């Protein structure tokens, strides 16, 4: 595409170099406008989310008796939740705009041998955007919950409720974003007057405007989040009796939560604006051999932005909660409630951000009499 644009500009220039045939061998006006715009965007986005969950929940009451046994309820409850989320996004809108207005006057009232007015406008814009975004989220959860009351009796045993409750939640989130809007704007206005009132051999007015804009943006963003949770909750009352045993409730409660969050973001808006206005008068009231006015405007803008953002968050939690009353009796035993409660929460957050707005603006105004 860029080679085609350059070839087109060369063709226009060659055509503009051919003089117009006028009366009395007068040189015709010459005008050239060339505009080149190139935008290249490369984007890479990757997101990976892995979740592993191995919950184990068991309720195994065992009763061995040579006498009467009356057991109460035995329960094991487990709620386990593991989540993994990964986001990766790229956005690179690029806007290029150019406007060229050119007016080249002829050799009005020229009698013989007058050179025509000459004008040239050149504009080049180039924008490159490269983005890399990666997000990884991994969640591992291995909760174990067990309720295993064992009763061995040669007499009466009356056991109360035995319960093990566990709530485990592990979450992992990783986000990575890239955004690089680039705006380039160029406006050129040129008016070149002719050789009004010239009688012979007058050189026409000449004007030139050149404008070049270049913007390069390279961004890299990475976010990684890891959550590991291994909670263990156990309730295992054991009763061995040769007499009457009346046990009260035995409970183990555990609430665990592990979270990991990582954010990484890049934003690099770049704005370039250039305005050129040029007015070149002709050779008014010139009699013979007058050279026309000449003017030139040059404007160059260049912007480079390189950004790197990385965020890593890791959370490891290994809570263990146990309630294991053991009763061995050759007589009457009456046990009260036995409880183990645990609340554990582990959180990790990492954030990394880059922002590099760049503004370039140039204006040129020229008047050559």
Measured in whole angstroms, how far is the alpha carbon of residue 226 from the centre of its chain?
Answer: 20
- The string of pLDDT tens digits covering residues 62-76 is 777 777 777 777 777
Domain assignment present for 83: no
pLDDT band at residue 1 under the 50/70/90 scheme: very low
For 172-186, how does the pLDDT look when each residue is reduced to its tens digit (9 = 90+)? 888 888 888 888 888
How many domains, the chain? 1
Q: Which residue blocks in the chain are alpha helix, DSSP H?
A: 2-16
Helix/strand/coil for 108: coil
Quote the pLDDT of residue 284: 63
Residue 18 is assigned to a structural domain of this protein: yes
What whole-number distance in Å separates Cα of residue 276 and Cα of residue 355?
A: 30
| 30-60 residue pLDDT tens | 777 777 777 776 777 777 777 777 777 766 6
- 96 Cβ partners below 8 Å, 6+ apart? 37, 39, 125, 127, 184, 185
- For 10, the 3-state DSSP assignment is helix
Is 14 within the bounds of a domain?
Answer: yes
How far apart, in Å, are the Cα atoms of 39 and each of 182, 187, 269, 301, 317? Answer: 10, 18, 15, 16, 49
In whole angstroms, what is the distance from residue 330 CA to residue 245 CA?
A: 9
- Which helix or strand (DSSP H or E) is residue 95 part of? strand 94-104
Provide mean pLDDT across the span 93-116: 74
Looking at the domain assignment, is residue 40 inside a domain?
A: no
Mapped onto helix, strand or coil, the DSSP state of residue 333 is strand
* DSSP result, 272-299: EEEEEEEEE---TT--BSPPPPEEEEEE
Domain limits at 24? 1-29
Regarding pTM above 0.85, the answer is: no
Determine contact, residues 128/94, Cβ cutoff 8 Å. no
Residue 296 located in a structural domain: no
Which value, to the nearest 10 degrees, does the dihedral of the CA atoms of residues 214, 215, 216, 219 take?
Answer: 180
Q: How confident is the model at residue 11 (pLDDT cuts 50, 70, 90)?
A: very low
| 6 falls within a domain | yes
Please answer whether residues 32 and 16 qualify as being in contact, where contact means their C-beta atoms are separated by less than 8 angstroms: yes
What is the pLDDT confidence band of residue 28, given thresholds at 50, 70 and 90? low
More confident residue, 20 or 166: 166
Chain centroid to CA 243:
71
Question: 25 lies in a domain?
Answer: yes
> What are 112-162's pLDDT values in tens digits?
777 777 888 888 888 888 888 888 888 888 888 887 788 887 877 787 788
- Report if residue 16 sits inside a domain: yes
The stretches of 73-228 forming alpha helices (DSSP H) are none
């Amino acid at each position: 595409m860029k080679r085609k644009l350059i070839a087109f500009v060369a063709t226009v220039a060659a055509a503009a170099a051919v003089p117009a045939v006028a009366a009395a061998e007068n040189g015709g006006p010459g005008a050239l406008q060339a505009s080149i715009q190139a935008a290249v965007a490369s984007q890479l986005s990757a997101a990976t989310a892995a979740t592993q969950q191995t919950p184990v929940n068991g309720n195994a009451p065992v009763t061995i008796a040579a006498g009467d046994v009356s057991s109460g309820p035995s329960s094991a409850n487990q709620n386990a939740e593991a989540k993994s989320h990964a986001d990766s996004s790229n956005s690179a809108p690029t806007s290029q705009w150019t406007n060229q207005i050119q007016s080249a006057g002829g050799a009005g009232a020229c009698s013989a041998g007058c050179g025509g007015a000459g004008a040239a406008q050149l504009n080049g814009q180039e924008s490159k955007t490269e983005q890399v975004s990666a997000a990884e989220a991994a969640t591992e959860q291995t909760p174990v919950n067990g309720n295993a009351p064992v009763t061995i009796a040669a007499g009466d045993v009356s056991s109360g409720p035995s319960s093990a409750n566990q709530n485990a939640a592990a979450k992992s989130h990783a986000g990575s974003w890239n955004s690089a809007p680039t705006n380039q704007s160029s406006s050129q206005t040129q008016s070149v007057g002719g050789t009004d009132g010239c009688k012979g051999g007058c050189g026409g007015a000449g004007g030139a405007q050149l404008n070049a804009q270049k913007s390069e943006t390279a961004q890299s963003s990475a976010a990684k989040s890891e959550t590991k949770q291994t909670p263990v909750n156990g309730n295992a009352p054991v009763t061995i009796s040769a007499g009457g045993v009346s046990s009260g409730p035995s409970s183990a409660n555990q609430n665990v939560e592990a979270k990991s969050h990582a954010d990484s973001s890049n934003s690099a808006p770049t704005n370039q604006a250039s305005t050129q206005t040029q007015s070149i008068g002709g050779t008014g009231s010139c009699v013979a051999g007058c050279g026309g006015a000449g003017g030139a405007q040059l404007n160059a803008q260049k912007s480079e932005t390189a950004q790197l953002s990385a965020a890593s968050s890791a959370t490891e939690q290994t809570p263990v909660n146990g309630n294991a009353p053991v009763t061995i009796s050759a007589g009457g035993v009456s046990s009260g409630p036995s409880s183990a409660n645990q609340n554990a929460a582990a959180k990790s957050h990492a954030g990394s951000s880059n922002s590099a707005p760049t503004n370039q603006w140039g204006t040129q105004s020229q008047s050559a009499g």
